[in-house]
Amino acid sequence: MKRPIIQFDNFSFKYRTQMDVTLKQINLTIYEGEKILILGPSGSGKSTLSQCINGLIPNSYSGDITGTLLVCNKEPAKVGIFEMSKSVGTVLQDPDGQFIGLTVAEDIAFSMENECVAQPIMKQKVQEAATLVSIDHLLEQPPQELSGGQKQRVSIAGVMTEQVEILLFDEPLANLDPAAGKYTIELIDQIHQLSDTTVIIIEHRLEDVLHRQVDRIIVMDNGEIVADMNPDMLLSGNILTTVGIREPLYITALKYANCKIQEHQKPSQLNSYITEIEKNNIQTWYNSYTKEKTQEKEEEILAIEKVFFSYANKRPVLQDVQFTIKKGEMISIVGKNGAGKSTLAKLICGFEQVNDGRILFRGKDMANDGIAKRAEKIGYVMQNPNQMISKSLIFEEVALGLIARGLSEEETKQRVEATLKICGLYPFRNWPVSALSFGQKKRVTIASILVLNPEIIILDEPTAGQDFRHYTEIMKFLEELNRNHGITILMITHDMHLMLEYTTRGIVIADGKLIFDQKTSEILTNSNIVEQASLKVTSLFELAKACEIENPIDFIESFIEYDREVREHGADAILHA
Amino acid sequence: MAQMLSYMHKDTWIHRLSGVTKMLYFILWSIVGMVTYDTRVLMVMFVISIILFSMSKTSFYQVKTVFTIIGIFLTINILAIFLFSPLEGTKIYQSRTDLLHLFGSYVITKEQLFYEFNVALKYFTVIPVALMFIVTTNPSEFAASLSKLGVKYTIGYSIALALRYIPDIQKDFTEIKRAQEARGLDMSKSAKFSHRVKNMMAILFPLIFTSLERIDTISNAMELRGFGKKKKRSWYRERPFTKTDYVSIAFIFIFSVLAFVVTFIDGTRFYNPFI
Amino acid sequence: MKNNGNRIVVATGIGTALYIALSYVSIPLGFIPNTAIQPRTALLAFLAAIFGPFVGGAVGLIGHTLADALQYGSVWWSWVFPDALFGIAAGLFAAKYAIEEGGFGTKQIVLFNIVQIVANVVAWVVVAPVLDIVIYAEPANKVFTQGAFACLGNVITVGVVGTLLGLAYTKVKAKSSSLKKED
């Protein structure tokens, strides 16, 4: 029997600043050398649980604890953060907050510096750790020159120098492009296999984590543990749907095709799972389902013509980019970090000026329109809503742009209220912004753009860091704006599910060039494009191949349409239609 | 955002000096430069500054903008001194040689010209050294070397953190500003004063509040990695003192003492060619 | 969050970075020559009022020194020290302002402004001009006039922008209870 390394015993926790208990009667034992995934929607208490393990709770965030917790035979509440950091290494979610050093090498060395390790030993260990995560060629780089994925690898290298017994990863996939996320999961697996470290991953993106084997999954909801089992058992049950975690897409597809998910068949491994039965069922489902034809949009609204751009004296960011957008389209712009996606958005909004080429709105060159002028046609929503909100009341925040344009009080009130109604914020209009959740704040920022009546809205990573429930909420809202209010929507995103499900067309940018402009289902089945743009092939494609379906693109499209109908109306509605 | 001076990696003996040596040099040099009005001392310092500056291989292009700004500031300052006190030189040097009568009580005197020449010279003895200090000192190595002077390492680390996050905050500033401009807030100089203040707050609030949120994340991250655990810490970028460091420090101390002796031997900080 | 040592270190670092970034921003007052709204001064008072005199003094000292050095390649020490002094003074009653606890109300605002006015007058009408004379031997009437304008600009900046920052932040931090949806 393996030695228990973490033991929660009737453990409860309440933050001092909150009314309700966040963790309720937790009983959990984790054994030495295990690889554990702690899964749960936002607010389920999974991050709180991890902060109890590394000692941030109650040493940094105070509150009341009942019951006991032992980590490596120490009580985190008693011994403090420093003592715990000898046993538990934590990689935080925010790569920028975590990157403290002025260069990569210094950041890796940070905890050794604090331990007063002699310089020669430090240099050697930095080299070793950097090599392990393949960033040894970047040692002298400042954080500003690194991508999110590279910064995260620096953090991992940093904890690798500490020789801890437990490694804790807090939402490691939150800020990464798909390829970088895949690499991180592989890297964590490699570290786990090389050392006898216990690995704990906190995430809500199940399918991505299951890219590599985990021993056990703990599912949390409302501060309680609702499941503690191996991945195969979890996938064959229906707990995930209950708590609002998205199951892997191929599992959903198999369920639609009337396959019973069998634990002993190991559903966590797609390739070995498919037998003749599944193959037949999937093919039957596919052949019986006919999807609707989507209508082609006609009216051209925005044209990008041979656009070139580079920041002063630096390498070109965009080269010869050309595409058009039709009114009413909903489009994704994808590509790896630093490929030029955000720059493209900035050029369209007039934040930067093109070096060469033209940007036309309804056939008219916008070169002479300033930022404010363009904003009346094209709105831009930043990734972090906190960076846009400057008023304390919701009404004032949404009214800001109208007041600045000198509209009368009467008209301002009318337009703001109308917009708040569209955005479902009307009942909250007199609330302080600080009382809202992240998703609601996002709506406020969208409302503050929408109030200016733009025809196009550009959103930068609209769902970054959101769990499935909030993700769906935001995306449903955007879809409604698109369908019912005719607003053209352009999204910069890393999220492949988002691109597939909500947008019909994707523009792929790699190294400053437009390399693909096609239906989104075609992007994720083209391995060449996927690799160039740091994307990831969807598991539906693999499922289609395993089931020998001739036209995987069409299969994926059918699945998405079917899935959407199921989620909107329930499975019965389709069956009887 | 305006261009800012920053460390440039090069390999000269000045780059290889410890940050503390350069800081001591900079501080003593500034003090001497501030205190003395002895033209002979200032001239010597000016020549040494120029020699050191060229030895550091700092390209003029790198510091061109800064020189322009200083040039404008200095001109304004010199004019202001004249406007406020056209006979300051006469007061200091106890002598008056009129050159040109302008209007009213405004007379250009030889003494005033000499005094203002000294004011300008003072700036030019210090500026090259200060510029050199910034462009040749690796900030992390500097933070490390501060602890050699007995400064608590937490102070050194505050400075390192500031330098680490300046680029991030500048980027945030620009992005927030543009997003607010897009909403129609006029940030240009032509807007009315009260509007400009209001619109500036639409940048300041989100910028400052999101930065404050960062403080908790960063201090947790540092705590989790053992910062502040021990009384001392080692530094990855630390460089041991070399002979050049000792020689440089000895030089600046001896020079400072000599400069003070020469300056004050006649009982005043001014060198007076008029009596 | 507990106000431990590390939080002070980070607040100083991030505060200094903000101070330097904001050094490039100012709005001339227009009707009074040579005087401007300088957001960095409001920031300094605001940070000091949250984190106390140590952070205030340190951000003033390090921030002003670095900002001068990075922007102009030279440091005007006679203006650095008054700024540090102002930072310390503004932070003396940090605990009373209770900004992070959501307690920055009328009484606190009055105290905050009395302190900032006194501190600004001492720093810019007394300390800075005296240092200018002692260090640079500049004419007395010039430096006192400059000091008076600087003081006026700063009092207005902190009084308006600083107070509003404190008010807004205390609202962000305050517990929002008894909120009801309206139809």
ipTM for this model: 0.92
Residue C150 Cα, gap to closest chain B Cα (Å): 15
Touching chains, C (3+ CB pairs < 8 A): A, B
Q: What pLDDT is attached to residue A576?
A: 45
Cβ neighbours of A461 in B, within 8 Å: none
Q: b/e per residue, A314-337, with b = 16+ CB within 10 A?
A: eeebbbebebebebbbbbbbbbbb
Tokens of B113: 């010209």
Cβ proximity of B92 and C133 under 8 Å:
no
Encode pLDDT of A309-327 as tens digits: 998 767 788 999 999 999 9
Domain with CATH 3.40.50.300 in chain A: 4-241, 300-537
When CB atoms are compared, the residue of C1, C176, C182 closest to A432 is C176
Touching chains, B (3+ CB pairs < 8 A): A, C
Q: What pLDDT is attached to residue C177?
A: 52
Burial of C107 (0-12, 13-18, 19+ CB in 10 A): exposed
The owner of tokens 């940018």 is: A509
Residues 91-130 of chain A whose Cβ lies under 8 A from any Cβ of chain B = 92, 94, 96-98, 100-103, 105-106, 109-119, 122-123, 126
Q: What pLDDT is attached to residue A361?
A: 94
Residue C183 lies in a domain: no
CB contact, 8 Å: B215 with chain C? yes
Q: Is the pLDDT of residue A370 over 90?
A: no
CB contact, 8 Å: B188 with chain A? no
Q: Is the pLDDT of residue A446 over 60?
A: yes
Burial of A413 (0-12, 13-18, 19+ CB in 10 A): middle
Give the pLDDT mean for A523-547: 87
Tokens of A279: 């193959």
Cβ within 8 Å of residue A550, ≥6 positions away = none
Residue C36 to residues B75, B197, C26, C84, C158: CA-CA distances in angstroms? Answer: 20, 11, 6, 19, 12
Give the pLDDT mean for A172-181: 86
Cβ neighbours of A85 in B, within 8 Å: 223-226
What's chain C look like in SS3? CCCCHHHHHHHHHHHHHHHHHHCCCCEECCCCCCCEECHHHHHHHHHHHHHCHHHHHHHHHHHHHHHHHHHHCCCCHHHHHHHHHHHHHHHCCHHHHCCCCCCCCHHHHHHHHHHHHHHHHHHHHHHHHHHHHHHHCCCHHHHHHHHHHHHHHHHHHHHHHHHHHHHHHHHHHCCCCCCCCCC
Average pLDDT value over all residues in chain A:
90
Residue B246 Cα, gap to closest chain C Cα (Å): 25
Residue in C with minimal Cα distance to B161? C13
Select from A56, A37, A43 the least CA-distant residue to A202: A37
Sheet containing A63-71: order of strands:
A23-31, A4-15, A63-71
CB contact, 8 Å: B205 with chain A? yes
Tokens of A281: 């069922």
Q: What pLDDT is attached to residue C32?
A: 66
Q: What pLDDT is attached to residue A182?
A: 92
When CB atoms are compared, the residue of C14, C70, C172 closest to B161 is C14
Between chains, do A60 and C1 touch, taking CB under 8 Å as contact?
Answer: yes
Q: Are residues B229 and B247 in the same domain?
A: no
H-helix or E-strand containing A66? Answer: strand A63-71
pTM value is: 0.90
Q: b/e per residue, A133-168, with b = 16+ CB within 10 A?
A: bebbebbeebbeebbbbbbbbbbbbbbbbbebbbbb
Cβ proximity of A373 and A404 under 8 Å:
no
Tokens of A5: 């390394």
Separation CA A56–CA A50 (nearest Å): 9
Encode pLDDT of C95-140 as tens digits: 999 898 888 999 999 999 999 999 999 999 999 999 999 888 889 9
Residue A135 to residues A41, A169, C20: CA-CA distances in angstroms? Answer: 32, 19, 31
Q: Is the pLDDT of residue A534 over 90?
A: no
The owner of tokens 């040579």 is: C34
Q: What pLDDT is attached to residue B146?
A: 87
Cβ proximity of C43 and C157 under 8 Å:
no
Domain count, chain C: 1
Residues 36-95 of chain B whose Cβ lies under 8 A from any Cβ of chain C = 37, 63, 66-67, 69-70, 73, 80-81, 83-85, 88, 92
CATH number at residue C80: 1.10.1760.20
Cβ proximity of A277 and A257 under 8 Å:
no
Note down the domain range covering B178.
139-236
Residue A395 to residues A284, A428, A430, A440, C176: CA-CA distances in angstroms? Answer: 53, 9, 6, 13, 17
Q: Is the pLDDT of residue A378 over 70?
A: yes
Q: Are residues B194 and B152 in the same domain?
A: yes
Rama region for A80: left / alpha / beta (φ>0; ψ in -120 to 50; rest): left
Give the pLDDT mean for A340-364: 92
Residue in B with minimal Cα distance to A453? B183
Residue in B with minimal Cα distance to C131? B34
Give the pLDDT mean for A564-570: 80
Q: What pLDDT is attached to residue C175?
A: 64
CB contact, 8 Å: C69 with chain B? yes
> Which of B205, B208, B272 would best serve as a mutation to test chain C binding (most C beta carbons within 10 A)?
B208
Between chains, do C181 and A62 touch, taking CB under 8 Å as contact?
Answer: no
Q: Is the pLDDT of residue C176 over 80?
A: no
The residue length of chain B stands at 275
Encode pLDDT of A467-522 as tens digits: 888 888 888 889 989 998 889 999 998 888 788 889 989 999 988 899 999 888 88
Cβ neighbours of A386 in B, within 8 Å: 206, 209-210, 213
Give the pLDDT mean for A116-121: 94
Encode pLDDT of A399-435 as tens digits: 999 988 888 999 999 999 999 998 888 988 888 888 8
CB contact, 8 Å: B23 with chain C? no
Residue in A with minimal Cα distance to B228? A114
Residue C73 lies in a domain: yes
Phi, psi of A91 (to 5 degrees): -110, 115
CB contact, 8 Å: A142 with chain B? yes
Peptide bond into A58 cis (omega under 30): yes
Query: A201-210, A337-346, B20-29, C161-170: which has the minimum mean pLDDT?
Result: A337-346
The residue length of chain C stands at 183
Cβ proximity of A357 and A307 under 8 Å:
yes
Domain count, chain B: 2
Cβ within 8 Å of residue A213, ≥6 positions away = A35, A189, A231, A268
* Residue A217, strand partner residues: A37, A229
Q: Are residues B16 and B148 in the same domain?
A: no
Residues 155-174 of chain C whose Cβ lies under 8 A from any Cβ of chain A = 168, 171-174
Q: Are residues B113 and B44 in the same domain?
A: yes
Encode pLDDT of B131-169 as tens digits: 888 889 988 889 888 888 888 999 999 999 999 999 899
Cβ neighbours of B6 in C, within 8 Å: 70
Between chains, do B1 and C24 touch, taking CB under 8 Å as contact?
Answer: yes
Cβ neighbours of C135 in B, within 8 Å: 34-35
CB contact, 8 Å: C176 with chain A? yes
Residue B161 Cα, gap to closest chain A Cα (Å): 7
Cβ within 8 Å of residue A568, ≥6 positions away = none
Q: Which fold has domain A4-241?
A: Rossmann fold (3.40.50)
Average pLDDT value over all residues in chain B:
89
What is the C-alpha R_g of chain B?
24
Q: What pLDDT is attached to residue C31?
A: 67
Separation CA C47–CA A439 (nearest Å): 29
CB contact, 8 Å: B222 with chain A? yes
Tell me the torsion sign for CA atoms A473, A475, A477, A483.
negative
The band of A105, judged by pLDDT with boundaries at 50, 70 and 90, is: very high
Separation CA A149–CA A172 (nearest Å): 10
Beta strands, E only, A135-279:
166-170, 198-203, 216-221, 224-229
Residues 360-419 of chain A whose Cβ lies under 8 A from any Cβ of chain B = 371-372, 374-375, 379-380, 382, 384, 386-390, 400-402, 404-405
One-letter amino acid for residue B103 of the chain: F
Cβ proximity of A420 and A447 under 8 Å:
yes
Cβ neighbours of A90 in B, within 8 Å: 224
Q: What pLDDT is attached to residue B1?
A: 46
Give the pLDDT mean for B199-220: 92
Q: Is the pLDDT of residue A219 over 90?
A: yes
Separation CA A205–CA A254 (nearest Å): 19
Which DSSP category does A135 fall into?
A: -
Residue B50 Cα, gap to closest chain C Cα (Å): 15
Residue C167 Cα, gap to closest chain A Cα (Å): 10
Which DSSP category does A291 fall into?
A: P
Residue in A with minimal Cα distance to C178? A431
Residue B174 to residues A148, A432, B187, B207, B258: CA-CA distances in angstroms? Answer: 20, 26, 12, 10, 49
The owner of tokens 């003090």 is: B31
Separation CA A288–CA A280 (nearest Å): 12
Between chains, do A112 and B234 touch, taking CB under 8 Å as contact?
Answer: yes
Separation CA A180–CA A536 (nearest Å): 9
Q: What pLDDT is attached to residue B3?
A: 61
Between chains, do A434 and C2 touch, taking CB under 8 Å as contact?
Answer: no
Report angle CA A215, A218, A221 to the nearest 5 degrees: 165
Cβ neighbours of B130 in C, within 8 Å: 69, 73-75
Note down the domain range covering C70.
5-173
* Residue A489, strand partner residues: A330, A457
Query: A505-514, A529-538, B205-214, C56-65: which has the minimum mean pLDDT?
Result: A529-538
Encode pLDDT of A395-408 as tens digits: 999 999 998 888 89
Q: What pLDDT is attached to residue A577?
A: 41
CB contact, 8 Å: C9 with chain A? no
Q: Name the percent of chain A lying above pLDDT 70.
A: 98
CB contact, 8 Å: B162 with chain A? no
Q: Is the pLDDT of residue C70 over 90?
A: no
Between chains, do A61 and C168 touch, taking CB under 8 Å as contact?
Answer: no
CB contact, 8 Å: B213 with chain A? yes
Burial of A575 (0-12, 13-18, 19+ CB in 10 A): exposed
Residue C74 lies in a domain: yes
Query: A51-60, A164-173, C66-75, C129-138: which has the minimum mean pLDDT?
Result: C66-75
Separation CA B66–CA A33 (nearest Å): 58
CB contact, 8 Å: B185 with chain C? no
Q: How many CB pairs under 8 A join A and B?
A: 161
CB contact, 8 Å: C134 with chain B? no
Separation CA C103–CA B134 (nearest Å): 42
Between chains, do A389 and B206 touch, taking CB under 8 Å as contact?
Answer: yes
Q: b/e per residue, C147-181, with b = 16+ CB within 10 A?
A: bbbbbbbbbbbbbebbbbbbbbbbbbbbeeeeeee
Tell me the torsion sign for CA atoms C10, C12, C15, C21.
negative
When CB atoms are compared, the residue of A59, A60, A428 closest to C181 is A428
Separation CA B34–CA A575 (nearest Å): 88
Q: What pLDDT is attached to residue A454?
A: 93
Q: Which fold has domain A300-537?
A: Rossmann fold (3.40.50)
Give the pLDDT mean for A298-311: 91
Give the pLDDT mean for A94-117: 92
When CB atoms are compared, the residue of B182, B203, B226 closest to A380 is B182
